[in-house]
Amino acid sequence: MASDAIVVGSGVIGLTTAVLLAERGARVEVWTRETAAQTTSAVAGGLWWPYRIEPADAVARWAVASLAVMTELARRPEETGVRRVDGTEAGTSASELGGWARQVPGLRDATPEETPRGWDRAVRARLPLIDMPAHLGYLQRRLGAAGGTVTLRPVNSLAEAGRAAPVVVNCSGLGAGHLAADPHVHPVQGQLVVVENPGVTEWFGAAADGRATDTLYLFPQPYGLVLGGTARPHVWDRVPSPAVAQTLIARCARVHPALTESRVLAHRVGLRPARHRVRLEAGRLPGGALVVHNYGHGGAGVTVSWGCAQEAVALALKGFKGFKGGG
């Protein structure tokens, strides 16, 4: 076999997993039906924040591990697309957040003066904010430097990949509904708008429970100010709604009134690959190839990407002794 491992999927989960596998010495090939720029990851807002993802204990572990990596990557923002940016999450307090919050350096309750008008409480933190198109490009370059490749090809079954390599890592996102015959996989549609930034330098979000179909966030990115958003389960439509876009702009303008004058640069829709809990486990395919499933990350794929990749690679190395440093 020409490859030690086939990674199915080229979103942030697939590319991060492929990078770590290749850097452990495996001959890695990513199989994907679409380029990284066409994935849901490419249109994500990009803030590190555990959002719509379970199980909580594992998510905290994965998110904190990813935070450590991204904090280091933020030392080279032009190369990696990762910056650390100050910001506010309104409508919550530090004690209401999950256990992960206690491990975020500097995360604290906002003072009354810092709490935005219209909310009674908030938290402040400096967090990684990721320019996702730039970050995906960084991951692809890093994969190539480690000897990995990306092949554009439809994958009809995981068994097909298992015939090409002894290890298959399934990072297919929504595609796992078909490839893994998993009825729990479903989309959560997210629409956002990119506008010219009128001078916003900090990120902003407003806490919403896991059932809310509308959210509020503003992320200053190098390419513009990202305004969001929606979270609509089981909606497959990728066409932006003009009415929804106007609602998003108006909602965000209540935080920054100058947005009413900002020129719209882009409308984007992504389908978050949701599941009641992340599936991160190993099994066997017909024919004997090891399969490691790593999908179902909902709206927090970038937040847990490195932590999940580390565990997926550990499972792969346990099952295949041929990697350098494996076992």
213-253 residue pLDDT tens = 899 999 999 999 999 999 999 999 999 999 999 999 999 99
Instruction: Write down the pLDDT at residue 17.
Output: 98
Contact predicate 219/256, CB 8 Å: no
- Is residue 247 assigned to a domain? no
Instruction: Write down the pLDDT at residue 82.
Output: 98
CA of 276: how far to CAs of 57, 184, 296, 309, 318, in Å? 14, 7, 8, 19, 27
Count the neighbouring beta carbons within 10 Å of the beta carbon of residue 37.
14
- Is residue 90 assigned to a domain? no
Instruction: Write down the pLDDT at residue 325.
Output: 41
The number of helices, as runs of H, and strands, as runs of E, in the chain is 8, 15
State which H helix or E strand residue 31 sits in.
strand 28-32
Instruction: Write down the pLDDT at residue 319.
Output: 67
Domain count of the fold of the chain: 1
The pair of structure tokens assigned to 108 is 């604290």
- Is residue 21 assigned to a domain? yes
Domain that holds residue 305: 1-82+123-185+276-327
- Is residue 163 assigned to a domain? yes
- Is residue 116 assigned to a domain? no
- Is residue 233 assigned to a domain? no
Angstrom distance (rounded) from CA 73 to CA 5: 26
Contact predicate 179/168, CB 8 Å: no
Contact predicate 24/313, CB 8 Å: yes
Angstrom distance (rounded) from CA 228 to CA 289: 42
- Is residue 158 assigned to a domain? yes
Question: Which ranges constitute the DSSP H helices of 45-111?
Answer: 56-73, 77-80
Q: Which residue has the tokens 């990078």?
A: 19
Angstrom distance (rounded) from CA 269 to CA 253: 20
Residues of the chain below pLDDT 50: 322-327
Which CATH number covers residue 181?
3.40.50.720
DSSP 42: G
The pair of structure tokens assigned to 297 is 């990350």
Report the predicted TM-score, pTM, of the whole model to 2 decimal places: 0.95
pLDDT in tens, 159-170: 999 999 999 999
Contact predicate 30/151, CB 8 Å: yes
Instruction: Write down the pLDDT at residue 323.
Output: 47
Instruction: Write down the pLDDT at residue 51.
Output: 85
Instruction: Write down the pLDDT at residue 211.
Output: 74
- Is residue 160 assigned to a domain? yes
